[in-house]
């Protein structure tokens, strides 16, 4: 199994969570102490140095809303009125409060010139009055990491309208938060992100304070980046979005180092090159990322911003990277996840969705998954197998996030996940063949799931077979039992579906397109069920196609399907509309 060693120890997660909570308790008391705060405050920065530039695009409309007194994150709103205070009232949700305290909205405000700069300064000073000293929530590592980065990139804009005393306060606060961030020993997950944010802060601050913080951050990066960025450019979490976000952070740090006349460490330059390749690989034909393993698709302009000035933009994109496979035809583009999920601390956003696929037709998403990410509004249940376009048996899970006290202490790690094996890819002019299997149903049902995909470039067809194969011989009544299984195809919210008269074929129509696609199968039945998809942190409702089959425990079972163009869409729709069911 690919999971943490805790999976193999009876009571491993509860024991580890209890031990970590006991170990952390003295640390909490120390961090809140006056002595610790005094140590974090020295030495004092001497003005500003470099001006770090975050390449992530600003949302000017969000900035206008904030100037009018409204904060909107992930579809939730907090209305405080013009020049209101968002810090002294309850947030709509914890997720909203995290986004607010991360200060990602600073660039949206400062994009509006002087009015935005004044409002950003006012809100920052109001925050420091309530949360400038240590606060367990506001100084949590994943909140603090982004706030340090965002303030460092905006500190010149914040200081411009500020008095000399206010500018010194903001610089001193940034130094304290950067030192604290770098002091956190919370394991390998996000260690590189913490070091990069602290490095950007050190580059922005002047004097010995900035030099020491920057030097310590670069030393930490040299140690943490090789563990975080794999040789093929994938992020250790296997999240495409995590690779993009780290790429953004390192680009900002690299630019700030250039302003100092300092060469970036070799490990950082290698990571930048590798992550740039990963961003190209995961950017699909619609300009957005693949939304798998805890990453959202994000917007096309957002992804494109990471590639500005990229020298290697015209390099050929490889077919395989980080356990993901790209299959390309004339119109169809397929991305398949053919590797085990991340394990241990790296699995806090991992999804137990073996052999999931995403399919694009032209530059439009056709088949997707839930698109869940830690910043999305959806529940942790969307990390399970039925929230992806793959097969599942008897509504069972093949891995799930830990919950309760364990999750609060260790993070919502994935437990009991599957292992992918038997991956075989064959490619010729006549087509691309991909085969993989996993053991997620072995312990409970004694079955191995084998998925075979064949993409025909000439016919522009995707053919698939999902087979459940018995791992051992079963005799008697136990072997004659059947296990129901389903193969799901989650549709993008802009895709509508009609079931044909034969009850096994489904006509797909993309909003605004004149062509359609048939999904045909030898399933016992095809039905349409509700589904959700997260896009830009907002939940959108859609449909999923559910193909049903039966697997006998001693003989297995299989289900075949094919996705092909509906060349005569008007005729097909007319024939089937009368008998269609929704």
- The pLDDT tens digits of the residues spanning 138-176 come to 999 999 999 999 999 999 999 999 999 999 999 999 999
Please name the helix (run of DSSP H) or strand (run of DSSP E) that holds residue 145, with its range, or none: helix 141-159
Q: What is the mean pLDDT of the segment spanning 350-357?
A: 97
Note down the domain range covering 383.
357-577
Of 294 and 307, the one with more pLDDT: 294
Structural domain count of the chain: 2
- Whether the predicted pLDDT of 255 surpasses 70: yes
Query: Mean pLDDT over all residues of the chain?
Result: 91
Place of tokens 């740090």: 253
- Whether the predicted pLDDT of 580 surpasses 90: no
- The whole-number pLDDT of residue 578 equals 42
- Band of residue 185 on the pLDDT scale cut at 50, 70, 90: confident
Q: What is the pTM of this model?
A: 0.93
531 & 473 share domain: yes
- Band of residue 515 on the pLDDT scale cut at 50, 70, 90: confident
Q: Which of 278, 312, 346 is the last residue of a domain?
A: 312
Cβ of 476: how many Cβ atoms within 10 Å? 8
- The whole-number pLDDT of residue 568 equals 52
480 & 573 share domain: yes
Q: Is residue 351 part of a domain?
A: no
282 & 418 share domain: no
Q: Is residue 14 part of a domain?
A: no
If phi over 0 gives left and psi between -120 and 50 gives alpha, with beta otherwise, what is residue 451? beta
**Residues 488/388, Cβ–Cβ less than 8 Å:** yes
- The whole-number pLDDT of residue 10 equals 54
287 & 398 share domain: no
Helix runs in 188-317, H state only: 191-204, 207-228, 240-260, 266-282, 300-305
Q: pLDDT tens digits for 372-392? A: 999 887 889 999 999 999 999
Q: What is the mean pLDDT of the segment spanning 532-554?
A: 91
- The whole-number pLDDT of residue 395 equals 84
467 & 385 share domain: yes
293 & 415 share domain: no
Per-residue DSSP letter, 387: G
Q: Is residue 271 part of a domain?
A: yes
242 & 386 share domain: no
Place of tokens 């496979």: 325
Q: What is the mean pLDDT of the segment spanning 232-261?
A: 96
- DSSP-assigned letters across all residues of 329-361: -SSEEEEEE-SPPP-GGGGTT----TT-EEEEE
Give CA–CA dist 403/175, Å, rounded.
Answer: 35
425 & 300 share domain: no
- Whether the predicted pLDDT of 2 surpasses 60: no
Of 73 and 538, the one with more pLDDT: 73
Give how far the C-alpha of residue 368 lies from the chain's centroid of Cα atoms, to the nearest Å.
14
With vertex at residue 228, the alpha carbon angle to CA 225 and CA 231, rounded to the nearest 5 degrees, is 85
Give CA–CA dist 373/409, Å, rounded.
Answer: 19
- Whether the predicted pLDDT of 495 surpasses 90: yes
- The whole-number pLDDT of residue 67 equals 97
- The whole-number pLDDT of residue 575 equals 43
Give CA–CA dist 454/437, Å, rounded.
Answer: 15
Residue 569's domain is classified under what CATH number? 2.70.98.70
């Amino acid at each position: 199994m690919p999971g943490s060693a805790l999976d193999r120890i009876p009571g491993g997660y509860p024991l580890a969570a209890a031990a970590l909570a006991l170990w952390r308790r003295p640390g909490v008391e120390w961090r809140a102490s006056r002595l610790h705060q005094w140590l974090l405050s020295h030495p004092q920065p001497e003005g500003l140095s470099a001006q770090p530039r975050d390449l992530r695009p600003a949302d000017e409309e969000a900035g206008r809303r904030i100037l009018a007194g409204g904060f909107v994150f992930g579809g939730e709103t907090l209305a405080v009125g013009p020049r209101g205070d968002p810090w002294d009232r309850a947030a709509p949700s914890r997720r909203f409060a995290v986004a607010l305290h991360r200060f990602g909205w600073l660039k949206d405000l400062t994009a509006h010139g002087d009015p935005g700069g004044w409002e950003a300064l006012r809100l920052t000073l109001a925050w420091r009055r309530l949360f400038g000293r240590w606060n367990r929530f506001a100084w949590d590592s994943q909140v603090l990491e982004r706030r340090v980065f965002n303030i460092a990139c905006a500190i010149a804009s914040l200081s411009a309208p500020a008095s000399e005393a206010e500018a010194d306060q903001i610089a001193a606060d940034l130094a304290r938060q950067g030192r604290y961030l770098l002091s956190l020993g919370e394991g390998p997950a996000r260690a590189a992100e913490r070091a990069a944010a602290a490095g950007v802060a050190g580059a922005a601050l002047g004097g010995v304070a900035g030099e020491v913080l920057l030097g310590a951050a670069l030393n930490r990066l040299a140690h943490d980046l090789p563990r975080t960025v794999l040789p093929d450019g994938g992020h250790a979490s296997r999240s495409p979005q995590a690779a993009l976000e780290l790429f953004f952070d390192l680009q900002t740090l690299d630019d700030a180092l250039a302003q100092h006349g300092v060469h970036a460490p070799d490990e950082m330059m290698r990571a930048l090159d590798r992550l740039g390749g990963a961003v190209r690989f995961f950017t699909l034909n619609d300009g957005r990322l693949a939304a798998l393993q805890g990453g959202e698709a994000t917007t096309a302009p957002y992804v494109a911003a990471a590639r500005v000035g990229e020298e290697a933009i015209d390099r050929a994109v490889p077919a395989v990277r980080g356990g993901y496979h790209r299959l390309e035809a004339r119109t169809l583009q397929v991305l398949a996840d053919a590797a085990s999920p991340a394990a241990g601390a790296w699995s806090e956003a991992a999804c137990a969705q073996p052999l999931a696929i995403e399919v694009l037709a032209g530059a439009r998403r056709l088949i997707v998954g839930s698109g869940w990410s830690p910043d999305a509004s959806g529940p942790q249940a969307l990390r399970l197998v039925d929230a992806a376009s793959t097969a599942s048996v008897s509504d069972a899970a093949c891995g799930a996030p830990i919950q309760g006290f364990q999750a609060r202490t260790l993070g919502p790690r994935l437990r009991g996940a599957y292992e992918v094996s038997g991956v075989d890819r064959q490619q010729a002019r006549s087509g691309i063949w991909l085969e993989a299997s996993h053991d997620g149903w072995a312990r409970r049902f004694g079955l191995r799931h084998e998925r075979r995909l064949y993409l025909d470039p000439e016919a522009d067809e995707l053919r698939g077979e999902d087979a459940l194969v018995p791992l051992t011989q079963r005799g008697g009544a136990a072997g004659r039992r059947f296990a129901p299984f389903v193969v799901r195809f989650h549709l993008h919210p802009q895709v509508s579906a009609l079931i044909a008269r034969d009850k096994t074929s489904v006509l797909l129509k993309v909003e605004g397109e004149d062509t359609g696609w048939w999904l045909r199968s030898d399933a016992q039945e095809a039905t349409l069920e509700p589904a959700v998809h997260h896009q830009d942190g907002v939940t959108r409702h859609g449909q999923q196609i559910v193909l049903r089959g039966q697997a006998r425990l001693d003989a297995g079972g299989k289900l075949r399907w094919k996705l092909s163009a509906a060349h005569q869409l008007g005729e097909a729709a007319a024939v089937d509309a009368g008998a269609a069911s929704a």
